[in-house]
Amino acid sequence: MSSRLRNILGLIVGLIIAFGTIMLIEGLGHQIFPPSEEILAAQGKLSKLDPQDREGRKEAMDAMQQAMADYLESAPFGAVEIILLAWLLAALFGSFVATTLTASHKLRYGLSIGGAVLLMTILNFVMIPYHPIWVILLVVLLIPLFAWLGAKASLFFFPSTKSAS
């Protein structure tokens, strides 16, 4: 397999692992800390709307955002911690896998997974702007660190696959 193809596949698999980790941990978090009735009602209304009904979708999205804001203001501390844990472990695991599978520039590919997780997390903050400020600060500081740790752990555990970064 060419190194270019291996790098692309390593990056894709790393992204799948990262976002799969987020979905798994956040799904478990929703089992432990279920969403409020208002969020569930807004989701139900949104899912039943005609995709062409722009006004109805806007109203439903506004209701969803308000329900999320209300929930985040009173959410148990553990509910927010699980979301933070999901994002951090996504950067760690995705970076580890991408670094392990790529053929060259391993550290760059591993860190790019962290960049993708950070970008998606920031987009989440923009779409749902009611997260506590301490979560936003920790995410911005810790996701790059966890991505770097994942990449370095891969290089440590698989030194025979180490190449110039």
Per-residue pLDDT of 74-96, as tens digits, reads: 888 899 899 999 999 999 999 99
For the chain, residues with pLDDT lower than 50 are: 162, 164
Q: Are residues 151 and 112 in the same domain?
A: yes
List of E strands, the chain: none
Q: Are residues 13 and 24 in the same domain?
A: yes
What is the pLDDT, as a whole number, of residue 68?
A: 85
CB 89 within 8 A of CB 143: no
**Domain endpoint, select from 25, 46, 74:** 74
Domain hosting 40: range is 36-74
Q: Are residues 94 and 123 in the same domain?
A: yes
Number of domains forming the structure of the chain:
2
Query: Of 87, 115, 92, 113, which is closest to residue 102 (Cα–Cα)?
Result: 113
Q: What is the CA radius of gyration of the chain?
A: 19
Q: Are residues 91 and 135 in the same domain?
A: yes
**Integer angstrom CA distances of residue 153 from 25, 79, 117, 139:** 21, 28, 18, 20
**Integer angstrom CA distances of residue 27 from 16, 37, 54, 73, 83:** 16, 17, 29, 20, 10
